A and B are shown apart, each in its own frame.
Chain A
């Protein structure tokens, strides 16, 4: 009688713990596979040489400081030519330019704000000017390599609008992989 009760108890225990046992059994069976997959990934990471990090660098000429003259006003503009941008790129690249300032600043008397559009740019090899904006504008692109090119800047001037003051903007060049 006592023996029969023990057997019943074992059977009940066995039926209660059966799912956990199965999970443990499954885990023991599948663990080697997960470990194998993980090992393969790690091995690939270890043996595959990491590709060289793409390198893109741009260096902008120094600050440009101009002083308007009577001739500037008679012409309606004052230019700065051949400001060199140097770059190096390990792959296809593009360079953008934009202004970090929304305008060119105020006159000394504070009554006039010179608009950003009065600053224009172009590559020195080009003929048409582009108004500077706060959005990236494509300057040029090319294949991998290191070289330089020149930029021109133009301040538009007007007798009837401009007054005495110090005007300008900080412009940013960005080189990025194409």
Chain B
């Protein structure tokens, strides 16, 4: 009997001494929006180095292709590429042209940015490899030294046509 009494007292004491564990919660939403037809980025390929061959003299120009990655989030995102050439030391009569996705040759010079528009016709969420071609005009027997190096840098800027 005394044991029962003692146990009852101890139980009561335990209940009083150890209240239930308390906890509290709160929430928040963390959201991000990826807009449609807005994002494009461009990664140019490696430097183009070309050696003019006899056929180029016969044709009067040299052509070489390269690839540029245009990455778009939305499918069929319209883009705009701006190309600008640094000051170049061409021989007289030599000019550079660019063609993107066979849209037609556009002349580049070192004073005016040339705008080329196109359509990245990839499905959403993929990168698109743009065909890019360079054409060096004015390769003639008359205005070309027997041995020469011509160098220029073309800066390509790509933005979505929103």
Please report A residues at the B interface, Cβ cutoff 8 Å. 30, 33, 36-38, 40-41, 44-45, 48, 50-51, 53-70, 73-74, 78, 80, 83, 100, 107-109, 111-112, 119, 153, 155, 157, 159-177
Q: Which residues of B contact A (CB under 8 A)?
A: 1, 4-5, 8-9, 12-13, 16-17, 19, 21-41, 71, 73-75, 124-127, 160
Say yes or no: A166-B30 contact (C-beta < 8 A), given A41-B9, A45-B12: no
Rounded to whole angstroms, the CA-CA distance of A37 and B5 in the bound complex is 5
Given contacts A48-B16, A68-B33, A164-B36, contact A159 B71 (CB under 8 A): yes
Known A-B contacts A68-B35, A168-B29; A30 and B1 likewise in contact (beta carbons under 8 Å): yes
B22→A55 contact, CB < 8 A:
yes
What residues of chain A lie closer than 8 Å to B35, measured between beta carbons? 67-68, 164
Residues of A near B28 (CB, < 8 A) are 60-64, 83, 170-171, 173
- Residue of B36, B40, B160 most packed against chain A (CB within 10 A): B36
In the bound complex, residues from chain B placing their C-beta under 8 Å from that of A73 are 39, 41, 71, 73
Q: Residue on B with the closest CB to A53?
A: B19
Give me 23 A-to-B residue pairs in the complex whose CB atoms sit less than 8 angstroms apart, sorted by A's number. Answer: A30-B1, A36-B5, A40-B5, A40-B8, A41-B9, A45-B12, A62-B28, A65-B29, A70-B38, A107-B34, A161-B125, A163-B73, A163-B74, A166-B31, A167-B34, A171-B28, A171-B29, A171-B30, A173-B25, A173-B26, A173-B27, A174-B25, A175-B24
Q: What is the CA–CA distance of A156 and B1 in the complex, to the nearest angstrom?
A: 68
Ranked nearest first, the 4 interchain pairs of A and B with the lowest CB-CB distance are A168-B31, A163-B125, A37-B5, A163-B124
Chain B residues, CB < 8 A from A36: 5
How far is it, in angstroms, between the C-alpha of A37 and the C-alpha of B10 when the chains are bound?
A: 11
Given known contacts A83-B28, A160-B126, A173-B28, what 7 new A-B pairs fall within 8 Å (CB)? A36-B5, A63-B29, A66-B32, A164-B73, A169-B29, A176-B24, A177-B23
Residues of B within 8 A of A165 (CB): 33-34
Most buried by A among B9, B16, B25, B30: B30
Take A59-B26, A173-B26, A173-B27 as given contacts and tell me if A164 and B74 are in contact as well, using a CB distance cutoff of 8 Å: yes
Residues of A within 8 A of B21 (CB): 54, 176-177
Residues on the B chain within 8 Å of A40, using CB: 5, 8-9
- CB nearest neighbor in A for B25: A174
Shortest distance between the CB of A150 and any CB in chain B (Å): 13
Q: Is the CB of B30 within 8 A of A64?
A: yes
Which of B12, B21, B29, B31: most chain A Cβ within 10 A? B31
Q: Which residues of B contact A54 (CB under 8 A)?
A: 19, 21-22
Taken together as a complex, chains A and B put the C-alpha atoms of A153 and B29 apart, in Å, by 11
A112/B19 in contact, CB under 8 A = no
What B residues does A171 contact at CB under 8 A?
A: 27-30
Task: Decide: B73 and A167 in contact? CB cutoff 8 A.
Answer: no
Contact B33 A67, beta carbon cutoff 8 Å: yes
